[in-house]
Amino acid sequence: MGNEVDVSTLEAGGARDYADPPPAPLVDVDELGKWSLYRAVIAEFVATLLFLYITVATVIGYKHQTDASASGPDAACGGVGILGIAWAFGGMIFILVYCTAGISGGHINPAVTFGLFLARKVSLVRAILYMAAQCLGAICGVGLVKGFQSGFYARYGGGANEVSAGYSTGTGLAAEIIGTFVLVYTVFSATDPKRNARDSHVPVLAPLPIGFAVFMVHLATIPITGTGINPARSLGAAVVYNKNKAWSDQWIFWVGPFIGAAIAALYHQIVLRASARGYGSFRSNA
pLDDT digits (tens, 9 = 90+) for 50-84: 999 999 999 998 888 887 666 555 555 567 889 99
Residues 93-118: pLDDT tens digits?
A: 999 999 999 999 999 999 999 999 99
pLDDT score of 29? 82
Residues 39-55: pLDDT tens digits?
A: 999 999 999 999 999 99
pLDDT score of 273? 72
Rounded percentage of the chain residues whose pLDDT exceeds 70: 81
What fold characterizes domain 30-271?
Glycerol uptake facilitator protein (1.20.1080)
* Backbone phi and psi for residue 46, each to the nearest 5 degrees, phi listed first: -65, -45
Angle 35-41-46 from CA coordinates, rounded to 5°: 125
Rounded percentage of the chain residues whose pLDDT exceeds 90: 67
Residue 164 has pLDDT above 70, yes or no: yes
- For the chain, the structural domain boundaries read 30-271
CB 141 within 8 A of CB 56: yes
pLDDT score of 118? 95
Q: Is 81 helix (H, G, I), strand (E, B) or coil?
A: helix
